[in-house]
């Protein structure tokens, strides 16, 4: 690793942070901008995608305002080889499904591949994660639970 590598690490980290912020704010154009057109994605056993367009379309359809997601990345381990790079990340995530009153918590290890385009920008070429665990619980188990803030609430409910 030399000093110039650090500039590339930083660019890759901020790429990944934009990707994650795009998901949690449901900013689908921002999400698309972080992906190679031919990206492959495997989120555990259940969600796999081929192609940025399919990924963005499906997520935008699934993740309605009924669903609050919080994904938090930390612990990046990055390695660069020319215009290719790999990244290992720790993820924790929480999903609140308001209508059917489910709280999901999980933790994963992401393993990604990045590619630098002709424009000099890094994009996600392949993203996969392995779950350490995922749990679900009904909010009916904790009857006093209430949302006191919700960015995605309809205005009259907010």
Rounded to a whole number of angstroms, the minimum distance from the CB of residue 106 to a second copy is 7
CB 28 within 8 A of CB 53: no
- Alpha carbon of residue 135 to chain centroid: 18
Indicate whether 136 belongs to the interface with a second copy (CB under 8 A): yes
Q: Return the residue matching tokens 């990244």.
A: 87
Query: Is the CB of 85 or the CB of 106 nearer to a second copy?
Result: 106
Query: Is the CB of 118 or the CB of 133 nearer to a second copy?
Result: 133
Site for a second copy in 82-111 (CB under 8 A): 88, 90, 92, 94, 96, 104-107, 109
Site for a second copy in 110-129 (CB under 8 A): none
Could you write out the DSSP letters of every residue in 106-139? EEEEEEEEEEE-TTS-EEEEEEEEEEEEEEEEEG
The token pair at 56 is: 């963005």
Alpha helix positions (H), 2-137: 3-25, 28-33, 52-62
CA distance 73 to 62: 22
Indicate whether 137 belongs to the interface with a second copy (CB under 8 A): yes
Q: Which of 72, 83, 84, 117 binds a second copy (CB under 8 A)?
A: 72
* Contact footprint for a second copy (CB under 8 A): 1-4, 6-7, 9-11, 14, 17-18, 20-21, 24-25, 44-45, 68, 70, 72-77, 88, 90, 92, 94, 96, 104-107, 109, 130-138, 140-151
């Amino acid at each position: 690793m030399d000093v110039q590598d650090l500039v590339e690490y930083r660019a890759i980290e901020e790429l990944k942070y934009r990707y994650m912020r795009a998901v949690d704010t449901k900013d689908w154009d921002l999400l698309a901008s972080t992906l190679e057109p031919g990206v492959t994605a495997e989120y555990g056993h259940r969600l796999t995608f081929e192609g940025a367009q399919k990924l963005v379309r499906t997520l935008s359809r699934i993740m309605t305002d009924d669903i609050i997601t919080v994904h938090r990345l930390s612990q990046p381990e990055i390695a660069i080889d020319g215009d290719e790079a790999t990244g290992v990340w720790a993820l924790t995530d929480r999903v609140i499904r308001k209508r059917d009153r489910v709280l999901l918590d999980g933790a994963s290890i992401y393993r990604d591949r990045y590619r630098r385009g002709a424009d000099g920008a890094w994009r996600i070429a392949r993203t996969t994660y392995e779950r350490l665990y995922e749990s679900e619980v009904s909010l009916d188990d904790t009857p006093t639970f209430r949302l006191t803030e919700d960015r995605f609430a309809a205005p009259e409910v907010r």
